[in-house]
Structure 1
Amino acid sequence: MKRIGIMLSAILSLTSAAQAADLGWNSGASPMYSPTPASGWSGFYAGVSGGYGWGTQTVTPAPGAQATNNTGGWSLGGQAGYNMDMGGFILGAEGDLQWTNVNFSEAVPGGTFKTGIDFYGTLRGRAGMSFGQVMPYVTGGIAAGRGSASYDNGVVTSQSATHMGWTAGVGLEAQATSNISIKAEYLYVDLGTQTYSGLPAPIGNIDASQRFSVVRAGLNYKF
């Protein structure tokens, strides 16, 4: 009887160990959090993205009067970057370039005045956590863009300027396959203020600021 008891105890112990292994209890990780393996997010990637931007634009004419107007328009472009997966905590860097028509236009004496951003780019750091195949992240860095201001009175006179500033935002990226991921992202972009000179009357010389938010979706391919 003593030997039978020892054998039964051993069988029960092996069965319990096997069940624990099947359930992942001996892995040391909680079943509520299962990070992607270190190779899951690591590597270079590139992709395309597009969305909509809206914001405010402050224009100061030469006489000193200031006007703040709402802007809006689409954006379309691409991005490339690199992720380093440290066991579920991801650090990376990403650069993107977007063509856009986030602008404002209004009727003025003798014609139409229009100002906005023609394209912009950002260079950002990213930090996130992987939950299975999903990674929420925060991002921030520098931004630059080309703005334009024009007056159309039958003949279009246009001036352009380079804006420099910063950007910050949040996003969510999900792996569809081992190489393809999709993302949704929000960015706030502050491109500061630049002077546009040489526009004909009644516009003259102006200072224009460019600040806007962007919501966009993207598709990435990891190499």
Structure 2
Amino acid sequence: MGRFVWGALALIAAGWTTSARAADLYGAPNTIKQSLLRHDSWAGPYLGGNLGYAWGSVANNPTKPSGFVGGVQAGYNWRNGTWVLGIEGDIQATGAEDTFAPWKFSNPWFGTVRGRAGFAFNNVLFFGTGGLAFGELRATTFGLTESHTNAGWTLGVGAEMEFAENWSAKVEYLYVDLANSNFVITGASNGYRFGLIRAGVNYHF
């Protein structure tokens, strides 16, 4: 699965770069070029939504919750030449869950607050990201349910492309580690660690 994620990111990034070069070579309309390559491109606030898929494992338990993920993100970018720095926060609802023997673990929601640093090439931005993660881990066994909200960390990479004035599309991979906490009903210290690949759209104000 890890090779698939990195391969998908590489293919998408290459496709976006090729598209940008093709537009230059074959004479895209000047108005489109100017909007995509304006000096303040990528700078300022933005708001958007995303969809993706998460898969992972629970510490000290054989369950491996996975499922679809969807949510919203907001952020702000600063640009200095080809370098772009920013901060982004998101909140996600997830269907990630798994059952093994008497235990069921699920991750109903999570969020992140991250820094972003990247390099802008024409209308494509390549970036790395990392910061704080937090979310709920829920355990159920024999009709009893126990939930903990844990904090942890996240790291990832991605690419984003401006496809129209004020609009961009992105794809990114995040690794999220929600730290362990002691669950009474399992008698163990459990936490959730997972990978996430998602695509999204942003509107830049």
Which bin holds the TM-score, normalised by the shorter protein?
Answer: 0.7 to 0.9
Determine if the alignment matches structure 1 residue 195 to structure 2 residue 189: no
The correspondence for 1:134, drawn from 114, 124, 130, is 124
Residue 97 of structure 1: CA displacement?
A: 0.5
Q: Number of aligned pairs?
A: 170
Structure 1 residue 70: Cα displacement: 2.6
Q: Do structure 1's residue 125 and structure 2's residue 115 form an aligned pair?
A: yes
Matched-pair contact (CA < 8 Å) for 1:40–1:178? no
> How much does 1:208 deviate?
1.1
Give the distance between the partners of 2:38 and 2:84, measured in 1 at CA.
Answer: 11
Q: Which residue of 2 aligns with 1:220?
A: 202
Q: Aligned partners of 1:55 and 1:78: how far apart in 2?
A: 21
- Partner Cα distance (1:58, 1:126) in 2: 28
Deviation sequence 1:175-208 (CA, Å, 0-9, x none): 01121100000000011101222x3xxx5x3321
Q: Tell me, which stretches of 5 or more residues in structure 1 are unaligned?
A: 1-34, 60-66
CA distances 1:3-49 after superposition (whole Å, capped 9, x unpaired): xxxxxxxxxxxxxxxxxxxxxxxxxxxxxxxx944311101001001
1:55-94 equivalent positions in 2, closer than 5 A: 55-59=56-60, 67-94=61-88
Tell me the CA shift for residue 171 of structure 1. Answer: 0.4
- The reply on whether 1:116 has 2:106 as its aligned counterpart is yes
Answer whether contact 1:116 1:210 (CA < 8 A) is retained: no
Task: Give TM-score, length-normalised by structure 2.
Answer: 0.78
1:68 Cα deviation from its structure 2 partner: 3.5
Secondary structure, aligned partner of 2:180: strand
**Shift of residue 209, structure 1, vs aligned partner:** 1.6
Q: CA deviation at 1:102?
A: 2.0
Rate the CA distance shift 1:36–1:86 in 2: closer, same or farther, 3 A.
farther
Give SS of 1:102's match: strand
Q: Matched residues in 2 for 1:58 and 1:185: separation?
A: 25
Cα distance in 1, alignment partners of residues 177 and 135 from structure 2: 10
1: CA distance between counterparts of 2:91 and 2:63? 25
Q: Percent identity?
A: 39
8 Å contact kept, 2:62–2:100: no
Query: Which amino acid counterpart does residue 179 of structure 2 have in structure 1?
Result: G
User: Alignment RMSD, CA only?
Assistant: 1.6
- Give the 5 Å matches for 1:1-223: 36-59=37-60, 67-108=61-102, 113-151=103-141, 153=142, 156-197=143-184, 199=185, 203=186, 205-223=187-205
Question: 1:137 & 1:219 partners in 2: Cα distance?
Answer: 16
Inter-partner Cα distance in structure 2 for 1:144 and 1:209: 11
Deviations 1:41-100 (A, max 9, x none): 1010010011001112123xxxxxxx4443311111010000111121100000000111
Give the structure with higher Rg (CA). 1
> Any idea what SS the aligned residue of 1:176 has?
strand
Q: TM-score, normalised by structure 1?
A: 0.72
SS of aligned partner of 2:164: coil
Question: Counterpart amino acid of 1:51?
Answer: G
How many Å separate the matches in 1 of 2:154 and 2:165?
29
User: Aligned partners of 1:85, 1:36: CA distance in 2, in Å?
Assistant: 13
SS at match of 1:40: coil
